[in-house]
Amino acid sequence: MTALIQSPLIQLSGITKTLKGQDEPRTILSGVDLTVHSGQSVAILGRSGSGKSTLLSLIGLFDRPDGGQYILGERDITKLPERKAAQLRSAEFGFVFQRFFLLKHLTAAQNVAMALVNGQGWHSRRKRKAKVLAALDQVGIAHLAKHKPPRLSGGEQQRVAIARALVREPRVLLADEPTGALDTETGNLVVDVLLSATHRGCGLVLVTHDHDHAAKMGRVLSLHDGKLA
Amino acid sequence: MLSGKLRSAVIIGGQGIRARKLRTFLSMISLFMGVLAVVTVQAGAEIAERALLTDVELTQGIDGTRAMYIPDNGAAIVEDTVRGRKDAVAALNMSAIIGEPGVRPVNEGGMPFEYAGQGRGGPRGYKWCDQNGCYGAEETQAPKPDGQAIEVRLYALTGDVRTFRPFRPVSGQWLDFASAPAMAPRLVLNREAAKGLRQYHVPAEMQVTGASANMTPQITGVVDDGGMEPAAYVRIDELRTWLPSTAKQNGGQGGPGLQLLLSPGTSDLEQTLRARLVGLGIPADQVQAHEIDSRSRMSSQLSMMRWIFLGLAALVLLIGVAGILNVGLATVGERIEEFALRRAVGTSRMLLAGIVLSETLLTGLLTAGAAIGAGVVGLKIGSQIFGGRHPSLQGIEFPWQAGVAGVIAGLVAGILGGLIPAIRAARIPIATVMRA
């Protein structure tokens, strides 16, 4: 496991981001430096509106920084065009959100398969099914593959969402307050499932308000005045 | 093989349609009327053109046939040249009276029996005058007494004219050109002539101007030749027993007495005939052939009507497009989070737009399929109901052009109705999922 943590996966240096408000621009991030290694888990704490989600959206290539440098592996992706960013989001990142964002009309398996049916490469039906079942098994709900979200509990739904994030075997798992809508016990279960992904060398960045959950991570950082400490 | 992107678009599009069945069905209903209108107009135009063409072929001849009109003095040479040939048929055209001899036929002038009793050009003794004087039916001979006779246009044929004019059989047999000629000429009547015979019960005696004697014809069959006036068809060799080629014929009012129909690709025969007729002293400009091309002549006439109706159908289709567009925009508004999530998991903007377009395209194609199906069934039922009254509708097939038009209309409606929703879907920012 120690060997897995050696190589730097994400390197952010001097990242700045300013949002255009109604009155005047508001600086959210002002020179953020962050390094995440393979297999490492990082918790980011901070007040509401401190820019935690903005930082996560920059790491996940949902948005681009105004300044600074972003290196993924050995590749500078600071100013990546959208088409290539979509490819990287598919290949390198897995996302878990506070709300589960499962499609009600699809089964758990189909929701997980959504990450495979995204136009980035093609998997045969058989291969897709095997990958989906493996991902569901990884989070312990393979037996619920054919259930639709309305029939699942909050914790089960979040685990389906985690399986969706893991199904492409990403190098980085980004979780934005994944336990925010869950009770403590279920939240703990979900965090454990997320942490288990790091055992395979996956980097984990967890944004949370919960200090107990943060304490389970390898590193705990706090975002304050646009800077990580 | 389909690319991963296309497969993904079709799979996700199909899931979207299945998830919103009622909405898809409602948008299909509005589009259905539009596509059905296009299919109906296209099918109607094709069927009308075909029906008209079939009727014109009965009277004028099949497209590509070459027609020549031969002056009376060239008739014998033409008969001699084309006798026994299948690629050319000469038709000698004259007036004949069937019934009591020496009487005035009920339809004098060979007019349809609907106007029987009104005489040639109007009631008997009818005159019309203008500033230059008076004209009309000034009878020079003593009028004949009324009697049981009908006047028909008689076509004496050198061969089977149905190669060129596909008459529809009504009853009995067509002329048998393979057998030995009969002394009593065998006649095939058209429907109008048959109607006259049924209506007036005339005796079986036929008078032809210039014939050595009246004939006793045998009526073998009835055909629909598309003509309004009573007509009869006879083998020319059977007629020649009674009417020598040297006899002066009543070569039809308003045109020469002999028409020659030639198959396409018989230019050698045409050249030979022309040379022989010119050699006989007939001026070359009177021996002209023209090609029958009814389809293109009618197409130009029908195309304007077709475009007018297609324009109306397009308006109905536009209403369907507005329906799809409305539903599409509402659906995109409802699926903002889904689309943002799909972008988050790596779906590109283009593919996202493709997914929305594929949903509307699938809806358009399904609608087109339903409209085409309705068209096929409707035509089948219409053909069964109206086929008896309109022979051209009997056994009619759904024209493939209407099917193609329906598919195109469905696709166009799908694209037009899905384009704006697709653009909107592609512009949804991913950060939506972060802020939700």
Task: Domain ranges for chain A, please list them.
Answer: 8-228
Q: Determine the straight-line distance between the first and last CA of chain A, rounded to whole angstroms.
A: 26
Residues in chain A with CB shorter than 8 Å from the CB of B15 are 105-106, 110
Report the pLDDT value the prediction gives residue B253, as an integer from 0 to 100.
45
| Coil/strand/helix, residue B382 | helix
CA distances from B236 to B76, B158, B175, B196, B212 (A): 11, 6, 11, 23, 15
Distance from CA of A5 to the nearest CA of B (A): 25
Distance from CA of B368 to the nearest CA of A (A): 26
Tens digit of pLDDT for each residue in A64-121? 999 999 999 889 999 889 889 999 999 999 999 888 889 998 999 999 999 998 888 7
Residues in chain B with CB shorter than 8 Å from the CB of A160 are none
d(CA B41, CA B43): 6
Q: Does A129 touch chain B (CB under 8 A)?
A: no
Is 0.85 exceeded by the ipTM?
A: yes
Which residue is closest to A87 within chain B, CA to CA? B346
CB contact under 8 A, A103 and B19: yes
CB contact under 8 A, A115 and B5: no
- Average pLDDT by stretches of 10, chain B with 436 residues: 74 83 83 87 81 82 89 83 88 90 88 74 48 52 77 93 91 92 93 92 87 91 92 93 70 60 87 87 84 81 80 85 87 88 89 88 90 90 79 76 90 91 90 64
Which residue is closest to A85 within chain B, CA to CA? B346
Residues in chain B with CB shorter than 8 Å from the CB of A99 are 433, 436
CB contact under 8 A, A164 and B345: yes
CB contact under 8 A, A89 and B345: yes
Length of chain B in terms of residues written: 436
Residues in chain A with CB shorter than 8 Å from the CB of B348 are 82-83, 86, 119-120
Residue B364 structure tokens: 């358009």
Nearest to A86 among B3, B341, B346 (CB): B346
CB contact under 8 A, A95 and B9: no
Q: CB neighbours (10 Å) of residue B403?
A: 20
The alpha helices in B20-141, defined as continuous H runs, are 21-59, 75-82
d(CA B103, CA B148): 7
Nearest to B5 among A91, A101, A119 (CB): A119
Report the pLDDT value the prediction gives residue B432, as an integer from 0 to 100.
66
Stretch (H or E) spanning A128: helix A125-138
Which residue is closest to A52 within chain B, CA to CA? B434
Report the pLDDT value the prediction gives residue A4, as an integer from 0 to 100.
47
Report the pLDDT value the prediction gives residue A67, as an integer from 0 to 100.
92
| Coil/strand/helix, residue B47 | helix
CB contact under 8 A, B15 and A106: yes
Report the pLDDT value the prediction gives residue B1, as an integer from 0 to 100.
46
Q: Does A166 touch chain B (CB under 8 A)?
A: no
Check whether A1 has a pLDDT greater than 50: no
Residues in chain B with CB shorter than 8 Å from the CB of A89 are 343-346
Check whether A223 has a pLDDT greater than 60: yes
Report the pLDDT value the prediction gives residue B133, as an integer from 0 to 100.
52
Torsion over CA of B409, B377, B401 and B52, rounded to 10 degrees?
-130
CB contact under 8 A, B344 and A87: no
Report the pLDDT value the prediction gives residue B224, as an integer from 0 to 100.
92
Rounded to 5 degrees, φ, ψ at A146 are -95, 5
Please give the DSSP secondary-structure letter assigned to residue A171: S
Q: Does A18 touch chain B (CB under 8 A)?
A: no
Which residue's structure tokens are 């991913």? Answer: B430
Which residue is closest to B354 within chain A, CA to CA? A119
CB contact under 8 A, B348 and A83: yes
Q: Does A148 touch chain B (CB under 8 A)?
A: no
d(CA B158, CA B294): 24
Residues in chain B with CB shorter than 8 Å from the CB of A62 are 344, 429-431, 434
Burial class (CB in 10 A: 0-12, 13-18, 19+), B103: middle
Residue B420 structure tokens: 């704006």
Which residue is closest to B2 within chain A, CA to CA? A122
The topology (CATH level 3) of A8-228 is Rossmann fold (3.40.50)
Which residue is closest to B343 within chain A, CA to CA? A86
Tens digit of pLDDT for each residue in A153-203? 988 999 999 999 999 999 999 999 998 888 888 889 889 989 998 988 899
Which residue's structure tokens are 């014809």? Answer: B217
CB contact under 8 A, A90 and B435: no
CB contact under 8 A, B349 and A82: yes
Structural contact between residues B53 and B294, judged by C-beta atoms closer than 8 angstroms = yes
Check whether A22 has a pLDDT greater than 70: no
Report the pLDDT value the prediction gives residue B30, as an integer from 0 to 100.
79
Report the pLDDT value the prediction gives residue B252, as an integer from 0 to 100.
43
CB contact under 8 A, A120 and B15: no
Report the pLDDT value the prediction gives residue A2, as an integer from 0 to 100.
46
Share of chain A above pLDDT 90, in %: 58
Distance from CA of B344 to the nearest CA of A (A): 7
d(CA B59, CA B166): 9
Q: CB neighbours (10 Å) of residue B202?
A: 20
| Coil/strand/helix, residue B413 | helix
Nearest to A101 among B3, B18, B433 (CB): B433
Close Cβ partners of B223 (under 8 Å, ≥ 6 residues apart): B167, B168, B169, B170, B174, B188, B189, B190, B191, B233
